[in-house]
C-alpha cells in the first residue's frame, strides 16, 4: 500500500519529502456494535467533540489563566496569510503566537504580519542554505527578557528550526522538528537531533522551567493517529522517533494534552491534503505543548483548534496561570 505524502518543506527543484500522512483504510474491520467499517470515518470520528468543549480557565487550585499561547504549523506563511488566517488569530487573541514551517525569509514576510500592532515584538528564523525551507516565528504582545535562535549546534541551526524566548518565570521554545523524510533517509539525523535538542532543553530547564511548542513531527502513541498499524515505518511514527519523544518525557517533561486528556480519541492536528482526509478526520497529532513538570500547577488547559483552517495543520492553544 503506498504511503501518503505531503510537501513538508518545498524547495525549488526538490521533490516533496515524505512526511506523516495516513494511509487509507481499505479493509472492512469491525468496530463498536459489530458493524463493518467501510473505511470512511464515522460521524464520531468527524465530529471532534473535544473542539467544542469549553476552555478550562483555572488551575486545579483555582488560579485563573493569565497566559494564552497559540502554536500553528502554517505550511508556508505567505499562502497562510492569503487564506485569511490572520482573522482567526485576531479572534483567538493569544498573548504569544508561535509559527512553524514558514518557508519564508524575513525580508519577504507579508506586510500584514508587520502591521499587526497587537504583536509589536516579532522574531523570525529561516534556513541559511535553502530558500523556502523550514522556518519558525514568534510574535509577542509583551517583550521577552531575551531571545535566542537555534540550539547552539551548527548542523541543526542552519535550518532555522528553533526560537527561544526568556520570560520572568519560564522559557518558551518554539520548534519545527526535522522530518525523517522519504524512505527515512534522515532518520539517523533525526535521532541525532533528538539527543541534541533534549540536551538543549535540559540546559534551559536548569535555569527555569520551560514550555516547548510546535510541530514535533511525531505521533507518540497509537491513539495519536488514525491508522497506526499501517504506518509503523512512516516518518513520524517509527519506533525511533517515538522513543525519542518517550525519552523527552522521561526527563521530566509532560505532554500537556495527554496529561489532561489521556484517552481522548480522534484528536489530531495534521491531515494530508490527499483523499479528503481532513473531512474524514483521518489524521495525526504532531503538534504539542510540552511542559516542565514544575509548571503543571500552572496548567489550565491545552486545546486543539481543529476548526482552524489555512494549513494542513490546525492551531493548538495553551492556557496557563503564571
* Residues with catalytic roles: 176, 215
Would you say 267 and 281 are in contact if contact means Cβ atoms under 8 Å apart? no
**Cell numbers found for residue 101:** 514551517
CA atoms within 13 A on the CB side of 19: 27
The Cα–Cα gap between 190 and 181 comes to 10
The Cα–Cα gap between 322 and 319 comes to 10
**Cell numbers found for residue 272:** 494530508
3-class DSSP state of 63? coil
Chain-centre distance for alpha carbon 295: 19
**Cell numbers found for residue 244:** 525519542
Amino acid at each position: 500500500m503506498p504511503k501518503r505524502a505531503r510537501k513538508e518543506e518545498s524547495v525549488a527543484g526538490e521533490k516533496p519529502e515524505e512526511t506523516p500522512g495516513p494511509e487509507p483504510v481499505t479493509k472492512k474491520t469491525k468496530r463498536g456494535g459489530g458493524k463493518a467499517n467501510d473505511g470512511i470515518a464515522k460521524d464520531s470520528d468527524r465530529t471532534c467533540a473535544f473542539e467544542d468543549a469549553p476552555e478550562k480557565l483555572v488551575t486545579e487550585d483555582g488560579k485563573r489563566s493569565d497566559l494564552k499561547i497559540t502554536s500553528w504549523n502554517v505550511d508556508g506563511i505567505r499562502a497562510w496569510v492569503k487564506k485569511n488566517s490572520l482573522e482567526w488569530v485576531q479572534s483567538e487573541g493569544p498573548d504569544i503566537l508561535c509559527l512553524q514551517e514558514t518557508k519564508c525569509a524575513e525580508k519577504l514576510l507579508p506586510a500584514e504580519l508587520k502591521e499587526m500592532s497587537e504583536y509589536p515584538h516579532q522574531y523570525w528564523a529561516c534556513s541559511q542554505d535553502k530558500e523556502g525551507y523550514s522556518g519558525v516565528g514568534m510574535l509577542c504582545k509583551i517583550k521577552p527578557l531575551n531571545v535566542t535562535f537555534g540550539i547552539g549546534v551548527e548542523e541543526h541551526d542552519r535550518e532555522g528550526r528553533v526560537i527561544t524566548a526568556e520570560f520572568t518565570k519560564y522559557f518558551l521554545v518554539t520548534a519545527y522538528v526535522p522530518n525523517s523524510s522519504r524512505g527515512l533517509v534522515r532518520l539517523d539525523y533525526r535521532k541525532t537531533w533528538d539527543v541534541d535538542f533534549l540536551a538543549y532543553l535540559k540546559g534551559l530547564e536548569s535555569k527555569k522551567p520551560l514550555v516547548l511548542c510546535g510541530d514535533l513531527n511525531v505521533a507518540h502513541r497509537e491513539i495519536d493517529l488514525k491508522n497506526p498499524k499501517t504506518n509503523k515505518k512512516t516518518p513520524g511514527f517509527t519506533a525511533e522517533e517515538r522513543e525519542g519523544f518517550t525519552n523527552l518525557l522521561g526527563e521530566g517533561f509532560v505532554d500537556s494534552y495527554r496529561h489532561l486528556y489521556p484517552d481522548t480519541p480522534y484528536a489530531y492536528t495534521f491531515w494530508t491534503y490527499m483523499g479528503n482526509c481532513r473531512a474524514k478526520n483521518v489524521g495525526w497529532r504532531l503538534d504539542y505543548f510540552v511542559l516542565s513538570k514544575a509548571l503543571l500547577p500552572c496548567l489550565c488547559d491545552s486545546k486543539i483548534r481543529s476548526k482552524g483552517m489555512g494549513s494542513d495543520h490546525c492551531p493548538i492553544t495553551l492556557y496557563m496561570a503564571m
